[in-house]
Structure 1
Amino acid sequence: MMASQSQGIQQLLQAEKRAKDKLEEAKKRKNKRLRQAKEEAMAEVDQYRMQKEKEFREKQSLVLGSQSNLLGEIDAQTTGKIQKLTSNYNESLESVMKKLLSMVCDLKPEIHKNYTGTD
């Protein structure tokens, strides 16, 4: 009877050890899976971040590009206005100079109507 009890206790201890080993193995598998899940999540977050940064850079370049386009248009308009003003000046210069010279050079000496001579 003692031998069978001792053998039963031995079997219980072995079963307990196997159960403990299985628990340890399950914990290791669980921890490994948690690490894998964390790594996968981090990779997914990194990929999402890179995608959003790329979209941001594209939008930023569109905005900055449109600003530089506006600056180009403004420069072109300004250059056009300056050219137009310069051509108007050059066209008007000769006629204005002729009028001015005729006023200065073509004098007709006359006695002013209010002049009273003192003889």
Structure 2
Amino acid sequence: MATQQSQSIQTLLEAEKEAAKVVQQARQYRVQKLKDARTQATKEIEEYRKQKEQEFKAFEASHAGNTQNVQVAIDKETDVKRKEIAEAYKKNKEEVVKKLLDRVVLVKPELHRNLKKVQS
């Protein structure tokens, strides 16, 4: 009976060792799968980033011409407005200076309206 018990214990120890090996292999398998998944995800992210960069560059290139055209149109419009302002300045300069001088030089002395109310 003692030999049978020792044989049973030996069998249990071997089964425990075998179970530990299986658990260790499962852990290694899980770790390897996680590493593979991370690597795959990194590759997919990099491919997606490159694709979006290419799309952005294509979009930017297609709209760059429009931006330049708009800038040229704005520059032309600005030049036209600047010329109009310069012409208006030349045209009205004398009249404005005359009006300013008239206001400064020609003073009509009169009592302030509040002063009249106080004296009444």
Which TM class, normalised by the smaller chain length? 0.5 to 0.7
TM-score by length of 1: 0.58
For 1:16, give the aligned amino acid.
S
**Aligned counterpart, 2:36:** 44
Once the two structures are aligned, what percentage of the paired residues are identical?
A: 10
Correspondence 1:56 to 2:48 = yes
Give the superposed CA RMSD: 2.3
Q: What SS does structure 2 have at the residue aligned with 1:60?
A: helix
Q: Where has structure 1 moved over 4 Å in runs of 4 or more?
A: 79-86
**Aligned counterpart, 1:14:** 6
Structure 1 residue runs without a partner (length 5+): 1-8, 87-119
**Aligned counterpart, 1:67:** 59
Structure 2 residue runs without a partner (length 5+): 79-120
* Number of residue pairs matched by the alignment: 79
Q: String of CA shifts for 1:86-115, please: whole Å, max 9, x gaps.
A: 9xxxxxxxxxxxxxxxxxxxxxxxxxxxxx
Query: 2:13 & 2:75 partners in 1: Cα distance?
Result: 92
Query: 1:76 & 1:34 partners in 2: Cα distance?
Result: 62
Q: String of CA shifts for 1:45-85, please: whole Å, max 9, x gaps.
A: 00000000000000011111111112212123344567789
Looking at secondary structure, tell me which structure has more helix per residue.
Answer: 2
For 1:75, give the aligned amino acid.
T
TM-score by length of 2: 0.57
Correspondence 1:26 to 2:6 = no
